[in-house]
Structure formats: C-alpha cells, structure tokens
C-alpha cells in the first residue's frame, strides 16, 4: 500500500482532475503538492484570449500558471477568434 501512495504522489502533477492543493493556502503555492517552492520558468501558457506566466514547482516538478493574464483590455479587444465550421 505504501508503494501505491508513493506512485500516486509522483504522478499527481499530471492528474488533471486532482483537487488544487493550494486552496487553503495564504500565499502562492503549487496546486499539485502545496509547496511554496515555485519559480517562473520563463515561459507563458497561452489560451485563445490571453497569456499567463507559467511556473514550475521545485518540489514535485509540476507546471502551473497565474490566474491573472498578461494582456490588457485594449490588447484583448483586438484579438480575433476563429469560428467553427
């Protein structure tokens, strides 16, 4: 049973449906393991409407992103979206 727990902890950063471990935290922490050892990884996570600074956890190696986007309102208003056909 102990081995399964260790495997689960190792795989947790890649489980998309795992609960956010930082919900009850008072500061910025890793949503995968709850560690405060997170650093910007120098890249951005982009969506159709914004871009977000991305972070890597030094404890579990998981990736996360900011909730606040980098693009301002004026920049977002100029974006175009593709339409499904």
Q: What is the pLDDT of residues 25-79, one digit of tens each?
A: 888 889 888 899 999 999 999 988 889 999 999 998 889 988 888 888 888 888 7
- Considering the domain boundaries, does residue 39 fall inside one? yes
Question: Model-level pTM?
Answer: 0.70
CA separation for the pair 33, 22 (Å, rounded): 8
Q: What's the CA gap between 33 and 15, in Å, rounded? A: 12
Neighbouring residues of 56: CB distance < 8 A, sequence distance ≥ 6: 38, 39, 41, 62, 63
For residue 55, give its domain range.
Answer: 2-72
Radius of gyration of the chain (CA): 16
Residue 40 lies in a domain: yes
Residue 21, in any domain of the structure: yes
The reply to whether 38 falls in a domain is: yes
Query: What 8-state DSSP symbol labels residue 20?
Result: P
Rounded to whole angstroms, how far apart are CA atoms 38 and 75?
28
Q: What domain count does the chain have?
A: 1
């Amino acid at each position: 049973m102990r081995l399964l727990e260790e495997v689960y902890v190792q795989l947790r950063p890649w489980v998309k449906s795992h609960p956010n471990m930082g919900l009850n935290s008072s500061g910025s922490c890793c949503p995968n393991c709850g560690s405060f050892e997170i650093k910007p990884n120098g890249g951005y996570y982009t969506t159709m409407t914004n871009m977000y600074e991305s972070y890597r956890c030094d404890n579990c190696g998981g990736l996360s992103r900011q909730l606040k986007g980098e693009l301002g309102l004026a920049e977002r208003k100029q974006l175009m979206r593709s339409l499904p056909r």
